[in-house]
Structure 1
């Protein structure tokens, strides 16, 4: 990062309506398709953890980040592109795709009932997008606590940030194969639960929604209780062993993180206040500012 840094109201003079336009597009897209907030939230994680928050995930081509299997189910790109097209007409070559992603994810949380976080802007778009950078930098749903802590620490994020940002799983959907490792399939294609940290009744529900034949294509809600609402239900689900992923259940394995889970399960306001701080940190990971990167004219390709 250069001598420059992000600032609040970065576009106040150059494109004063930028944040309104992005919010408007996220709002209308979400009312047409209720799965959009969850997709936008996932998009910002997968962008920021690889090469920093620089929209490298938006670049299309051979061996780009989008081509890695870990990113195949990421969605919401069209919302970012819609906002970009409109902003290019109003303020050409001014608002970065990286800022659009961060602001859209922020707005997605607000639209789904979560806190509206003020975030600084001024990110620039990266020029590098490699599939080979994806795996070492994103959390796999089968990760242990140690593996997650190591990855988050490498991004400048704390164990507390890890527990808070895992709360993003209060909205969105997951493909069945993302938690496939918790079940075993017999020769007749029947599933049985092998992960004893999962509530057995919840496991039965999951097996109904995810027959072995549909593992790759079917999806389930991350939060079985309030799947469209950004709230603290995720933490309540964890306490009754209804965390969808192994990486969710892992938060209960250590006293310190279990205590955090209980605190957020008992106090939604506490979760929201902490979310605002952690989201600010997430959207500042590895940002490019000043003379680093560029302002792409279209999010799918570099300007060169």
Structure 2
């Protein structure tokens, strides 16, 4: 099976036993009481000139949490780090996380972890895009290592079946319900044409034709128009072509219409175990937002490090010397 290293968010078969018991929503209430405001203001200002940043930050959090847990290890620069793997080279949002870190270090030196800043940044990105506000527990510490060797074995392809995805989610304490809800992150952001290329093939004239019957015909035609056979690997399309910049439940409506961008999206409406969930979320945005709050907190708790298992980095791009 071909691994696709430009998928918008991917999950891994690592067994995580996580608990939020060491985290709390008021963790920085004394040591850095303005941390949440500082992060939100940074994200709001940056996204006002680059709206694509919001989707990038959500994706960045997913790619952090799936490898070594939510420990900021994806932010570290350098050869052979997680960030250098092909799966992560198309990620964005690093600069705004580092900018928030610089501001916070000036006011609260060696106090707030990059891992917490990234969780807050992704949380705020969803809210700024029109999604729900979420209260997240804080107190994560930054990972002490970041290794490329931990990335590739733990990535899955967007062509995976529901069984494969459910098994991987279960290994991290996440349910099929969480899978359906967290897939709703595809309501914002964009994806490279190569991330869904397996749904097409070239005919004798070199033109792309759809081979995935679950795609609605006009949608497939539009994808071919935006991603022709000669498109280079930097070309992207919106995950949700209807309300591309708005965090809403349009993603689920798209699935009902055969307009899921990835095969891993489409299977959610094809499989009877998840079809009813998709239908309910397509009808009720309030339910989606309520469930998003729960699943986001669960995701942000995967593999968290506290105490001596981590550190507070001075800069998010470097592990402390």
Q: Distance in 2 between matches of 1:2 and 1:296?
A: 22
Report the Cα offset of residue 215 of structure 1: 4.2
Residues 213-292 of structure 1 mapped to structure 2, 5 A cutoff:
213-292=230-309
* 1:118 corresponds to: 135
- Structure 2: runs of 5 or more not aligned: 1-17
* 1:181 corresponds to: 198
Are the aligned partners of 1:58 and 1:299 in contact in 2 as well (CA < 8 Å)?
yes
* 1:135 corresponds to: 152
TM-score by length of 1: 0.97
Are the aligned partners of 1:179 and 1:246 in contact in 2 as well (CA < 8 Å)?
yes
Report the Cα offset of residue 89 of structure 1: 0.8
What's the CA shift string for 1:141-162, capped at 9, x where partnerless? 1211111111111111000000
* 2:64 corresponds to: 47
Counterpart of 1:199 (choices 208, 211, 216) is 216
* 1:57 corresponds to: 74
- How many positions carry a matched residue from both structures? 304
Are the aligned partners of 1:85 and 1:298 in contact in 2 as well (CA < 8 Å)?
yes
Report the Cα offset of residue 2 of structure 1: 9.5
* 2:9 corresponds to: none
**Is the aligned partner of 1:34 residue 2:55?**
no
What's the CA shift string for 1:118-154, capped at 9, x where partnerless? 0010000001212222133334212111111111111
What's the CA shift string for 1:21-78, capped at 9, x where partnerless? 0000000111110101100000010001110000010111111111111111111001
Q: Secondary structure at the match of 1:10?
A: coil
Q: Distance in 1 between matches of 2:20 and 2:316?
A: 25
More deviation in 156-165 or 250-259? 250-259
Are the aligned partners of 2:253 and 2:282 in contact in 1 as well (CA < 8 Å)?
yes
Counterpart of 1:212 (choices 198, 216, 229) is 229
Q: Distance in 1 between matches of 2:187 and 2:19?
A: 36
Q: Distance in 1 between matches of 2:246 and 2:282?
A: 15
Report the Cα offset of residue 266 of structure 1: 0.5
Superposition CA RMSD, Å: 1.4
Q: Secondary structure at the match of 1:81?
A: helix
Q: Secondary structure at the match of 2:110?
A: coil
Report the Cα offset of residue 184 of structure 1: 0.3
- Structure 1: runs of 5 or more not aligned: none
Report the Cα offset of residue 92 of structure 1: 0.6
What's the CA shift string for 1:207-235, capped at 9, x where partnerless? 11111111411110000100000000000
